[in-house]
Structure 1
Amino acid sequence: MVWCLLFSVLGNVLSAATSSVLLYFVARLICVASIPVQAILKSEITKHSKDTDESSKVLMNLETIGTVGFMVGRVIGGYSGDYVRGNEYVYMSMIGNILISIVLVKSLPEEDSKQTKDSKKSKDAQKNMNIIEEAWQEMSSLFTDLSMLASSQYKDVFAIKLFVEYVSVINFNALGTTLNAEYRLPMATIGYCIVFNMTVPIVASWFVGTVRSRYYAEDSGYLRVRHFTTVIVATYAISSVTSDLPVFILAITMNSAAKSFIDSALDDLLHLKIEADQSKGKRNRTTIALKCFNNINTIAQLIGPLTSGILSCMFSIRSNFLACALFMILTNRLSKT
């Protein structure tokens, strides 16, 4: 975990120091090394928890803290961006946070305190290697499990989930830049817009059950996916062409709300397929399916920013929304197969 965080520090130092687009791109690729930290955390929490319920509660609390921290970070980053050297301040604060994380990781108590200095060093080195190998295994096993599920009854649900998360990452990467470059909003205002956009799914989730029971009582999930992907396609089409800021904000708000209904529909579809597998005695495959479904956004986080950057450089910032619309049309077609 420490090595992953150190690579992230290096990437952020280069990002803050460089004025070259190519070197900045390389720096952001180096920062990708921090992605396995989530897998390592989940693995360590699961390993040291008394039971599944305890690990689930801890993971849920961590996700909540992460969401709140992300929102606060967006607002702080927005205010910092309005200063002359605002970007440098943002990267320096990120580096500081990562260094604090490294100190906290290193300060964790050892399981066996009675050991010589040499054996402690040897154990630390072995532990670091084991963690690196474990992170790599987590990432590689995800791709292996997904390839196995690609030929199963889960393939359509996983394909839809991957496209939805992939498009969401592209949209998120383009959103702030669009508000700044196209609408000339101050960075602080952009931070508030993004935080507002992140709270929309939370509010929308309160109405998911009501809408499902009232209008989709007989639906297994595919109908909701078709309807709300159509809504999202329309919002991306509007976002790609409108010059009216209120219309743009309305479009991204509807987009976030619609995604909540798609997420709910995909959860329902997954559980239906899991129940079918369990009735056939295929419990091992259901465990793999649940694990992959919860971690599939890792793949989206790897390729989404790269796609967004390529589209912005080759075409325009708005081309991200047009590409998202095309991907969601494909997702809509997948729900009909």
Structure 2
Amino acid sequence: MNTPDGPSPNGTKGNPVEQVRYEVKKAIVGQEELLERMLVALLARGHILVEGVPGLAKTLAVKSLAEAIGGQFQRIQFTPDLVPADLVGTRIFHQPTGEFQVSLGPVFTNLLLADEINRAPAKVQSALLEVMQEQQVTIGRETHQVPKPFLVMATQNPIESDGTYPLPEAQVDRFMMKVVVGYPSPTEEFVIVERAIAPTVPIQRIIDPERLIDLQRQTDRVYVDPSIIEFSVKLASATREPASVGLGDLAKYVTYGCSPRASINLVLAARALALIRGRDYVLAHDVTELALDIMRHRLVLSYEALSDDVSADHVLTRVLAAVPAPDLVSQGR
């Protein structure tokens, strides 16, 4: 039997999502939040922006997940000299036939890792924008659909600024979540070193892309109470007008609040999290647990916030405390 907040400790048997997580953890030590958010994004058909210093197994996590779901994996190292054709592909003239042939780029995969995405110029970011939003690429006059399921996981290094380009706000908003990855604990790092000097354990395929698509459809059927939708909208609205929830002192720190995509993705991601935890209905706790990851990159802070060392997480934490969550238990859910 599953508990409201997580799977039963009796094991992962019968739960394909938990089986995938268990398999990935053969290669990854710690990073529980990152792994769970990746699974949420897969089920909710979203994309993830991961921020963390080098060496925290971001690439290994995506590659291991791709192996566990039997999907295709591609990694693109973003550099200042990258051009859009390096991502989406191009038309090549075939001299024997006198015709142009389309050569598809690495975005035609199931899991795409865009490593250090902020090192590429704006024209490359724009090329990635279409495939993230529309799940398709236009080369010449032809439109090509990318494989399903499709997930973009982009990484950026927070400690370097030389040779980097700010991500366009429109593209940042396309990411369902921004996950901040921290250092492992001493115990976890000990296990990491132990595994690094031991023979590599192969990752077994647990499900296939077709089964993952079935799980995505199952996620679509998770019940969302209207009060949950209202709660999500109130959270997003409070970032635009902090004074409406008694946080007028925060108004000077926020230039632009979260877009409606925040409300949409709060509900979509909460449904996926509910399914992962063995429920067919969403609780307010699912929304609040994912709120920072879904909203932090959608806030545009003022220069005053920068000077006062006020972060997006600080603003959102206060908003979450000020907006009351619905009590679904009393409603019979």
- Above 0.5 in TM-score? no
TM-score by length of 1: 0.25
TM-score by length of 2: 0.25
Which has the larger share of helix?
Answer: 1
Which has the larger share of strand?
Answer: 2
